[in-house]
C-alpha cells in the first residue's frame, strides 16, 4: 500500500469516526448526555484510574484535567479509527471490525455506570451505524478503484468526504446546543427561609485589590467532581428518598421539599484535593432543609453511624451520621447565593455539610440518603482509600501580593483568607523572612462556618522577601507547618510566597 492509499484510508477512518461520534453525541443529548461515547469512555477511565494518578491529575492540571482526559480519549479513538480506515482499504470487514471494537468499548462503558439504563447503549449503536456507513461510502469497494485515480473519482470522493464532514459538524454542534440549552435552571421560585439572614457585609475586596471576594459568585465557585458532563435532572420527576436504618422511610418530591422549613447558612466549602494555598474553596450563602429534621421524620434506629448519599448517576458519598446530629447546619440545599442551585453545583438538590471536605459531605444531584453503618456500606472515595472521616483542616492563603510579583518599596497590603469551618478563625499571623510573627487584621465576620478575610500593612524594603502565613482557631489550635499532600485526608502546611521589592 503506497502513501497515497495510506492517507486516503486514514482520512476515511478519521472522517467516519468523527461522523459516528457526532451522531452518537446528538442522540445522547436527547436521552442522557453521559451516554455520549467519548464521555462514557472517559467516565470509565476516571472510575478505574488509581487514586495517586487521579490526585496527580487534579494537582497538576487543575480545572484542565477533564478536558485533557476527554482530548486524550478522543485522540486515541481517532487514531485507532484511522488505523481501521487503512485496513478497510485492503479488507473492508477487518477494518469495520476495528471500528466495531471501538464502539463496543463505548457501549460497555455506558452500560457500566452505576445508574445505567438500557437506552444508554443507543448512542453507541448509532455511532456504529453511522461510522460503518460512512466508512463503506468512502472505501474503494464502494467508489470503485478507478474513481480514486481519475479526476472525476477524486471530485466524487471529495464530495462524499465533504458531505460526511458537514454532517458531523452539524450533528456535533446540535448535540452541544441541546446539552447547553437544558443546563440553564429557569423559573424556579425558591421559598424564603424561616429567619432570613441579613445581607453579607462588604468584604475587603472593596478596599484592597487582589483579595478573594467575601462571597464567591456562583459562576466562580470551584467545581471538582468525577462527572465529565453535568447530569440533567428533571425537577418535576425528581425525588429524594430517605431510607435504611429508619422506622419510617419516605420520599419527597421537589415541590414537597420546597414546602419544608428552610434555613439560610453562610458556609465555606473546600475540596480535599486542595493543595496548600490552592484555589479549590469558596464561600456562599446556602438555602436548604436541615438533614436533622429529615432524619427525625424518618426515625433513626440505634446502631447507625453513617449517611450513605447517592447522586442521580449512582455516585455515592459517606457522611458521619453525627454531622447531622451534633447541631451544625448540615442541609439539603436547594439555593445558592439567592438563586436555585446551578446544574453544575447539584440542581435540584445537594448536601452541604460545614466542617467536612466535599468528598465526605457534599453530594451533588442528590437523590437518596440511606442511614446505615460504615461496616455494611462504603462509598466511592472511601473505596479508593481516602480517609473515612474528612474534617476540614485549619488553613490560610495569601491572595495578594502574588507569588514572585515585583512591587514597589513602601507600605503594601498583604492579604488573603483563612478558614476552619465549624470552629472559626481567631487569629492570622504573617511572617516576613525569618522575622517575628505579626498579627493581621480581619475583614467582616459571617460566623464560624465561613472563611475570614485578613490583611497586614507591610513596610516593604527593597530585596527578595519570603512571606509566610498561619492561622489559629478559637480553641488554640495553630495551623501546622508539617507539609502533607492532599491524599488521604487533606493537605497541611504553611503557604510561603516569594515577593520581589524594587
Which 3 state secondary structure label does DSSP give 367?
strand
d(C-alpha 182, C-alpha 403), whole Å = 40
d(C-alpha 38, C-alpha 113), whole Å = 14
Amino acid 160: pLDDT: 87
Classify strands 331-336 and 410-419 as parallel, antiparallel or unpaired. unpaired
Residue 6: all three cell numbers together? 495510506
Classify strands 316-320 and 306-311 as parallel, antiparallel or unpaired. antiparallel
- Please, are residues 285 and 268 in contact by the beta-carbon 8 Å criterion? no
* Among 127, 141, 173, CA closest to 16: 127
| Series of mean pLDDT values for 10-residue runs along the chain (502 residues) | 79 91 92 88 85 76 80 88 88 89 90 86 93 87 46 71 91 85 77 94 93 96 89 92 98 97 97 94 98 98 98 95 96 97 96 97 97 96 92 97 93 97 97 96 97 97 96 96 94 97 93
Please list, in sequence order, all residues whose beta carbon lies within 8 angstroms of the beta carbon of residue 303, skipping any fewer than 6 positions away: 245, 373
d(C-alpha 196, C-alpha 265), whole Å = 9
d(C-alpha 52, C-alpha 66), whole Å = 16
What torsion do the CA atoms of 376, 380, 386, 388 make, to the nearest 10 degrees?
-30
Question: In the 8-state DSSP scheme, what is residue 243?
Answer: E
Please list, in sequence order, all residues whose beta carbon lies within 8 angstroms of the beta carbon of residue 397, skipping any fewer than 6 positions away: 212, 277, 278, 416, 417, 418, 469, 495
Q: In what order do the strands lie in the sheet with 495-501?
A: 406-407, 495-501, 463-472, 427-432, 437-439
For 124, the enclosing helix (H) or strand (E) is: helix 122-138
- Please, are residues 385 and 488 in contact by the beta-carbon 8 Å criterion? yes
Which 3 state secondary structure label does DSSP give 133?
helix
DSSP string, 289-309: EEHHHHHHHH-BPTT--EEEE
d(C-alpha 46, C-alpha 40), whole Å = 10
Amino acid 153: pLDDT: 65
Classify strands 452-460 and 441-442 as parallel, antiparallel or unpaired. antiparallel
Amino acid 148: pLDDT: 46
Residue 298: all three cell numbers together? 424518618
Kindly report whether the peptide bond that precedes residue 369 is cis, defined as omega within 30 degrees of 0: no
* Among 241, 244, 248, CA closest to 373: 244
* Among 448, 391, 389, 460, CA closest to 418: 448
Beta-sheet strands, E only, within 260-349: 263-270, 281-290, 306-311, 316-320, 331-336, 339-340
Q: In what order do the strands lie in the sheet with 250-253?
A: 250-253, 239-244, 366-372, 306-311, 316-320
Total number of residues shown for the chain: 502
CA angle centred on 151, ends 145 and 152, rounded to 5°: 75
d(C-alpha 434, C-alpha 482), whole Å = 17
d(C-alpha 412, C-alpha 391), whole Å = 35
**Positive or negative torsion for Cα 254, 256, 258, 262:** negative
Amino acid 146: pLDDT: 44
d(C-alpha 114, C-alpha 473), whole Å = 41
pTM of the model: 0.85
Amino acid at each position: 500500500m503506497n502513501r497515497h492509499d495510506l492517507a486516503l484510508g486514514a482520512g476515511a477512518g478519521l472522517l467516519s469516526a468523527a461522523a459516528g461520534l457526532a451522531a452518537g453525541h446528538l442522540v445522547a443529548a436527547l436521552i442522557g448526555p453521559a451516554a455520549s461515547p467519548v464521555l462514557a469512555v472517559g467516565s470509565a477511565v476516571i472510575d478505574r484510574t488509581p487514586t495517586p494518578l487521579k490526585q496527580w491529575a487534579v494537582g497538576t492540571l487543575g480545572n484542565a484535567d477533564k478536558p485533557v482526559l476527554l482530548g486524550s480519549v478522543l485522540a486515541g479513538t481517532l487514531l485507532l479509527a484511522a488505523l481501521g480506515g487503512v485496513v478497510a482499504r485492503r479488507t473492508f470487514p477487518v477494518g469495520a471490525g476495528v471500528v466495531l471494537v471501538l464502539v463496543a468499548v463505548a457501549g460497555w462503558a455506558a452500560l457500566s455506570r452505576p445508574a445505567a439504563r438500557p437506552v444508554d447503549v443507543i448512542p453507541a449503536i448509532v455511532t456504529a451505524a453511522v461510522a460503518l456507513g460512512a466508512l463503506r461510502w468512502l472505501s474503494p469497494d464502494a467508489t470503485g478503484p478507478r474513481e480514486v485515480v481519475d479526476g472525476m473519482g477524486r471530485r466524487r470522493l471529495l464530495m462524499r468526504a465533504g458531505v460526511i464532514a458537514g454532517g458531523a459538524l452539524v450533528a456535533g454542534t446540535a448535540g452541544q446546543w441541546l446539552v447547553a440549552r437544558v443546563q440553564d435552571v429557569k423559573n424556579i421560585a425558591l421559598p424564603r427561609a424561616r429567619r432570613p439572614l441579613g445581607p453579607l457585609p462588604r468584604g475587603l475586596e472593596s478596599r484592597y485589590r487582589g483579595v478573594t471576594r467575601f462571597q464567591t459568585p456562583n459562576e466562580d465557585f470551584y467545581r471538582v467532581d468525577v462527572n465529565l458532563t453535568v447530569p440533567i435532572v428533571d425537577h418535576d420527576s425528581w425525588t429524594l428518598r430517605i431510607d435504611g436504618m429508619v422506622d419510617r422511610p419516605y420520599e419527597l418530591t421537589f415541590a414537597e421539599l420546597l414546602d419544608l422549613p428552610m434555613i439560610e447558612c453562610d458556609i465555606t466549602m473546600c475540596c480535599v484535593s486542595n493543595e496548600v494555598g490552592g484555589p479549590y474553596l469558596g464561600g456562599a450563602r446556602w438555602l436548604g432543609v436541615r438533614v436533622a429534621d429529615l432524619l427525625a421524620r424518618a426515625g433513626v434506629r440505634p446502631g447507625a453511624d453513617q449517611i450513605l448519599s447517592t447522586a442521580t448517576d449512582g455516585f455515592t458519598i459517606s457522611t458521619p451520621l453525627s454531622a447531622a446530629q451534633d447541631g451544625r447546619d448540615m442541609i439539603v440545599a436547594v439555593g445558592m447565593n439567592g438563586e436555585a442551585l446551578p446544574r453544575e453545583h447539584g440542581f435540584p438538590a445537594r448536601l452541604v455539610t460545614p466542617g467536612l471536605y466535599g468528598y465526605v459531605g457534599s453530594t451533588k444531584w442528590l437523590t437518596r440518603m440511606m442511614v446505615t453503618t460504615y461496616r455494611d456500606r462504603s462509598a466511592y472515595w472511601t473505596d479508593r482509600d481516602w480517609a473515612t472521616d474528612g474534617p476540614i483542616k485549619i488553613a490560610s492563603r495569601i491572595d495578594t501580593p502574588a507569588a514572585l510579583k515585583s512591587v514597589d518599596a513602601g507600605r503594601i497590603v498583604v492579604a488573603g483568607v483563612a478558614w476552619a469551618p465549624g470552629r472559626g478563625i481567631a487569629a492570622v499571623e504573617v511572617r516576613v523572612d525569618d522575622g517575628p510573627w505579626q498579627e493581621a487584621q480581619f475583614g467582616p465576620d459571617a460566623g464560624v462556618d465561613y472563611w475570614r478575610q485578613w490583611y497586614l500593612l507591610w513596610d516593604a524594603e527593597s530585596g527578595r522577601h519570603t512571606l509566610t502565613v498561619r492561622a489559629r482557631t478559637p480553641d488554640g489550635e495553630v495551623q501546622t507547618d508539617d507539609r502533607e499532600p492532599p491524599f488521604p485526608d487533606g493537605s497541611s502546611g504553611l503557604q510561603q510566597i516569594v515577593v520581589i521589592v524594587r
